[in-house]
């Protein structure tokens, strides 16, 4: 297959934005859609292809918008449907795609469907949710929000029954055994796709169906429903994508790609904590291990990879021992821990060490998949562990050193969350404007890395193979595509390492450093020895 025939998402760079946190155009202390529109040029110059926006729908915000009260309306803090249409047009005008969250599994308890479901036993809405006279069904299903919820069932006084919820009790699960629910969701998809969005990040997809005697995750019936949504997209919306949020082991996520007839993309959750493990331990083996457990996926489907997002750094896909180790190393203060994860941002996790931050990104970009950058991580933003829930990694974007970081003209106490004002992460020194004007900033280096990755489609479509080296501290990945080769060398340790590569087929060829765009080495014999500094990475193209 020729590179130019690849579907757009295969080689895309994604950027995750929380509208509330990005830019406030009205001065009410909340980011909004016109604010995001005003920053599209910034996102574009970063080298981004597609923006993923967190839920922007009407919501009582018990779960920051993942509790939807009306799928057909925009939260008034964010603007109007017309603003949203303008956002889509302005994004497209700049060659940017835009996908939104699609929260399939549950609604808010304030949604009219649930209001009727609980109060009108005879209405069709009763069967829109999962009700039971007892709270002991599906007892093999785990509790996800462990720090707040004691059960997946909550009692509702009005209905006189228990309702099922995998997340907060204010988020009752929809009943996907009911075809009307499937039809409703298809209508929701249609509404937003007709407005021009380029697809959805489908939230919490493993949990749609419950069956006794199972853990109620990844069930065949769930896959059937999702395949139905995909068929609907195929029929009417060619080129638009479905991205699966299935926080599962790779062999289970593999099922969400189906035979190329389910999701176009799926997050690779388990590789993420292992990148942090590998860098802290100075040991490539966690990456070798998880990639050895990662099956091939169908043509024209793609992994979506990330280092951080709007949630806690999840430690669900590691062993109990690894989880303890990650908590000790990366979340020494109990405030940094939440559920089975760590509520910190990328820069603080990596000691604000730009070399390590770039190494982590380079590692991510060296692996198969289309990467996502979480807003603010490109400048190395900090977090605020004292805010509740996951709010500490959702603080206002730091644009410049003016009051409120240039995010909003509201009074400080009217902001939806405080800006970061202290220490190395204070907006006074760490902001987009400072990053743009300093040629050595993390922002410039990230932008360059993104550009290099994107101008080499080998990263998106090529095969990958780990090359054996004696130093377990180094990860060496060979990417190959249509006779082209790039060797990615990542020194994960805090010491210099000399590695020897066996390249008998490439004798007399030249290694080109594609990050610095310079000749690196003439390969004179079957073996070549390369010196790397602590936490250094090299992307070397083999050229004639």
Which amino acids are annotated catalytic? Answer: 203, 245
Kindly state whether residue 84 participates in binding ligand BGC, applying the rule CB under 6 A: no
Enumerate residues 289-308 that contact ligand BGC by CB under 6 A.
Answer: none
Per-position DSSP letters for 457-496, written without gaps between them? THHHH-EEEEPP-S-TTEEEEEEEETTEEEEEEEE-SSS-
Rounded-to-integer distance, Cα 444 and Cα 310, Å: 23
- From the CB of 103, what's the least distance to ligand BGC, in Å? 6
Query: Three-state DSSP class for 430?
Result: coil
Q: At a CB cut-off of 8 Å and minimum separation 6, what does 297 contact? A: 254, 257, 266, 303
Residue 100 in contact with residue 52, Cβ under 8 Å?
yes
Q: Which residue is nearest to ligand BGC (CB)?
A: 66
For residues 114 and 129, give the distance between their C-alpha atoms in angstroms, rounded to a whole number: 7
Which string of x and - marks every residue 166-195 that binds ligand BGC (by CB under 6 A)?
Answer: -x----------------------------
Q: Which is nearer to ligand BGC, 310 or 445 (CB)?
A: 310
Assess 446 for contact with ligand BGC (CB under 6 A): no
When the beta carbons of 120 and 147 are compared against ligand BGC, the nearer one is 147
Contact between 448 and 515 under an 8 Å Cβ cutoff? The reply is yes
Each residue 218-247 as x (binds ligand BGC by CB under 6 A) or -, in order, gives ---------------------------x--
H/E element, 519: strand 518-522
Our CB check for ligand BGC shows the closer of 174 and 523 to be 174
By CB under 6 A, residue 375 contacts ligand BGC: no
* Residue 109 in contact with ligand BGC, rule: CB under 6 A: no
CB 284, min distance to ligand BGC, A = 29
Residue 314 or residue 493: which is nearer to ligand BGC going by CB?
Answer: 314
DSSP state of 226: H
Query: For ligand BGC, which residue of 252, 261, 311, 480 counts as binding (CB under 6 A)?
Result: 311
Q: How far are the Cα atoms of 70, 362, 372 from residue 88, in angstroms, in the given order? A: 20, 30, 19
Q: Which is nearer to ligand BGC, 267 or 303 (CB)?
A: 267
Q: Does 316 bind ligand BGC (CB under 6 A)?
A: no
Q: How many residues bind ligand BGC (CB under 6 A)?
A: 9
Distance of alpha carbon 485 from alpha carbon 470, whole angstroms: 21
What number of other Cβ atoms are within 10 A of residue 228's Cβ? Answer: 14
Q: Which of 16, 32, 49, 63 touches ligand BGC by CB under 6 A? A: 63
CA quadruple 53, 59, 63, 65: dihedral, nearest 10: 0
CB of 167 to ligand BGC, least distance (A): 4
Which phi and psi angles does 221 have, rounded to 5°? -65, -35
- Out of 185, 204, 297, 350, name the contact with ligand BGC by CB under 6 A: 204
Name the residues that contact ligand BGC, by CB under 6 A.
63, 66, 103, 167, 203-204, 245, 310-311
């Amino acid at each position: 297959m020729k590179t130019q025939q690849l579907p757009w998402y295969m080689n895309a760079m994604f950027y995750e934005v929380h509208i509330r946190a990005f830019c406030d155009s009205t001065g009410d202390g909340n980011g909004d859609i016109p604010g995001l529109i005003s920053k599209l040029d910034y996102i574009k110059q970063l080298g981004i292809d597609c923006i993923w926006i967190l839920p922007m729908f009407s919501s009582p915000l018990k779960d920051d918008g993942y509790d939807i009260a009306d799928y057909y309306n925009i939260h008034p803090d964010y603007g109007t449907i017309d603003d949203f249409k303008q956002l889509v047009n302005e994004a497209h005008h700049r060659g940017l795609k835009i996908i939104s969250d699609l929260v399939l599994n549950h609604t808010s308890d304030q949604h009219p469907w649930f209001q009727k479901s609980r109060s009108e036993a005879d209405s069709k809405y009763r069967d829109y949710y999962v009700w039971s006279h007892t709270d002991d069904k599906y007892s093999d299903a785990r509790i996800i929000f462990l720090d707040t919820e004691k059960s997946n069932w909550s009692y509702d006084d009005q209905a006189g029954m228990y309702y099922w919820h995998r997340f907060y009790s204010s988020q009752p699960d929809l009943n996907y055994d009911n075809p009307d629910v499937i039809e409703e969701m298809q209508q929701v998809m249609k509404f937003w796709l007709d407005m021009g969005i380029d697809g959805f990040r489908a939230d919490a997809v493993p949990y749609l169906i419950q069956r006794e005697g199972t853990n109620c995750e990844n069930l065949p019936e769930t896959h059937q429903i999702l395949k139905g949504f995909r068929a609907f997209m195929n029929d009417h919306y060619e080129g638009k994508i479905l991205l699966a949020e299935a926080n599962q082991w790779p062999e289970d996520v593999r099922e969400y790609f189906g035979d190329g007839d389910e999701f176009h993309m799926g997050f690779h959750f388990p590789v993420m904590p292992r990148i942090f493990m590998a860098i802290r331990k100075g040991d490539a083996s966690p990456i070798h291990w998880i990639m050895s457990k990662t099956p091939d996926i169908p043509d024209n489907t793609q992994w979506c990879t990330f280092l951080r997002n709007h949630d806690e750094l999840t430690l669900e896909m590691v062993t109990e021992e690894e989880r303890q180790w990650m908590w000790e190393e990366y979340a020494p203060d109990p405030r940094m821990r939440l559920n089975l994860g760590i509520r910190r941002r990328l820069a603080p996790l990596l000691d604000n060490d730009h070399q390590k931050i770039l190494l982590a990104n380079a590692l991510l970009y060296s692996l198969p998949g289309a990467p996502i950058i979480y807003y603010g991580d490109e400048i190395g933003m900090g977090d605020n562990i004292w805010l509740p829930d996951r709010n500490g990694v959702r603080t206002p974007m730091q644009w410049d050193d003016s009051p409120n970081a240039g995010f909003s003209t509201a009074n400080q106490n009217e902001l939806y969350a405080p800006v970061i004002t202290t220490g190395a992460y204070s907006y006074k020194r760490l902001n987009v404007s400072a990053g743009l004007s300093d040629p050595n900033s993390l922002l410039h280096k990230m932008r360059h890395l993104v550009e290099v990755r994107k101008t080499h489609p080998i990263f998106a479509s090529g095969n990958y193979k780990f090359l054996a080296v004696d130093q377990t501290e180094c990860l060496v990945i060979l990417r190959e595509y249509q006779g082209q080769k790039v060797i990615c060398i990542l020194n994960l340790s805090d010491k210099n390492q000399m590695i020897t590569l066996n390249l008998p087929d490439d004798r007399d060829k030249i290694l080109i450093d594609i990050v610095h765009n310079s000749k690196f080495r003439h390969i004179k014999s079957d073996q070549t020895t390369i010196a790397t500094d602590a936490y250094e990475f090299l992307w070397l193209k083999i050229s004639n």
